[in-house]
Amino acid sequence: MVVTQLELELCYQGQKLRGFTCKLTRSAHGFLPESSCLIATQVLLPYLVAGLGMVAAGIVMDVVQHWEVFKVITEIFILVPALVGLKGNLEMTLASRLSTAANTGQMDDPDKQWIMVCSNLALIQVQATVVGFLAAVAAVVLGAFSRGGVELDQVAVLCASSVTTAFVAALSLGLVMIGVIIGSRKVGINPDNVATPIAASLGDLITLSLLAGVSSTLFEYRDTWYLSPLVCLFFLILIPVWVVIARRSAQIREVLRSGWQPVIVAMSISSVGGLILDRTVSDPNFEGMAVFTPVINGVGGNLVAIQASRISTFLHFWSVPGVLPYKMRQHWPNPCVTFFSSGVNSKSARVLFLLVVPGHLAFLSAISLLQGGHTAITVAFTCCYLTAALLQVGILLYVADLIVRFMWRRGLDPDNFSIPYLTALGDLLGTGFLALCFHLVSMMAGLGL
């Protein structure tokens, strides 16, 4: 399929046409060309801003881990990846869905735009409330297995903190995402390149700050036994209201019906990563891990969400669900196809992978400058950390190519189904590789290396 784009600019003086400029862009590959330099330029600034937001979240995590509520109710550490991962389950999915709609012209009509915005906001409020509650239940179950039991008043504080954090974070980030996507569309920037990094830049910091503040407040008033259950019940009662609003859009009605599996499975995967964090954060050999966890998890989830969103937009633009376009005809491509072919998606995968090392070096420098954590950022630690980050992102970008193709072949919208799985896998891989990194550094220190 050959695509031709014509840009025409008319120059008027008063009411008289005085001249015009014409620019013709022709692509024989079925997609308007986007150079590696252009992709990197559009992604770089949001990516760095997102990373600094994650550094700030890591500093917050490093501080609040010593608060009384985190020492008494250690299951909150299990909640952290699950709630922070909601930006992948909800906000990044929202950003991907609306970016695709904007790029394919579905949001050009103001009336359709309003319905789409309201329905999507209502949808993420329903999902945030339900997943926040289920994340707390998962944390209680995993915590009970880990340390033999959890007290009832602590369960109430955990559930209320989780639901409140999920609801408020989803609403605030959802509003920001909608503004970013509409604004970037108006100024001619591809929303796929900027929306998900901005969600990431704010998501971790807002979620961790809310979780720390809400849980600390509710823990302080835990003797008022009815307060935490009442807070939790209030947000659960609002669910039918959000469902009614969300059902105004036919597309969102389908997501309400069939879109629960990915967010719930993703929450479960992230909770396993939270269990690793809970078991390691108090170990002297892993001291300082809390400050690096949001950074490595956030960067991985950020980059893979950009790639998944771009592939999804490509598929929506040039094919129909159930049928892969000719350029992506392989059902199960090998890593060479993902990273080294001539296609636009392979080009973006290379750009995103190459951003890992310089980005993480900048973020490690920021952590060192802000004196976050309790681990000296030595050459050995830096090498192990960068290796872990490269492995994480490489695996995620390849899995993104596989899972988006698989979802599309099954007739499922990758915007709704792929990103939750990918960001949850990023949390699990990031936390696991980071724990292994600290273990290796500890072993090398013990051997005097």
Alpha carbon distances (Å) from 87 to 54, 92, 110 = 12, 6, 27
Q: What pLDDT sits at residue 30?
A: 45
pLDDT of residue 7: 62
- Which ranges of the chain have pLDDT less than 50? 1-2, 28-31
Please name which of 189, 210, 209 lies closest in space to residue 46, comparing C-alpha atoms.
Answer: 189
28: three-class secondary structure by DSSP:
coil
Nearest Cα neighbor of 351 from 34, 20, 49 is 34
Q: State how far the Cα of 163 lies from the Cα of 79, in Å rounded to an integer.
A: 11
Name the residue among 81, 38, 47, 30 with its Cα closest to residue 429.
81
**Per-residue confidence (pLDDT) for residue 387, from 0 to 100:** 94
Residue 199 parent element (H or E): helix 191-220
Q: Is 60 left (phi over 0), alpha (psi -120 to 50) or beta?
A: alpha
Q: What is the DSSP letter of 283?
A: S
Q: What is the pLDDT of residue 383?
A: 92
Structural Rg of the chain based on CA atoms: 23
Contacts of 328 (CB under 8 A, 6+ apart): 314, 315, 343, 345, 405
Q: Tell how far CA 245 is from the center of its chain.
A: 25
- Residue 25: enclosing H or E segment and its boundaries? strand 16-27
Please tell me the predicted confidence (pLDDT) of residue 88.
56
> Residue 47 and residue 53: Cα distance in Å, rounded?
10
What gap in Å lies between CA 341 and CA 216, rounded to an integer? 51
Q: What is the helix (H) or strand (E) element at residue 411, kind and residue range?
A: none
| Residue 113 CA, distance from chain mean position | 23
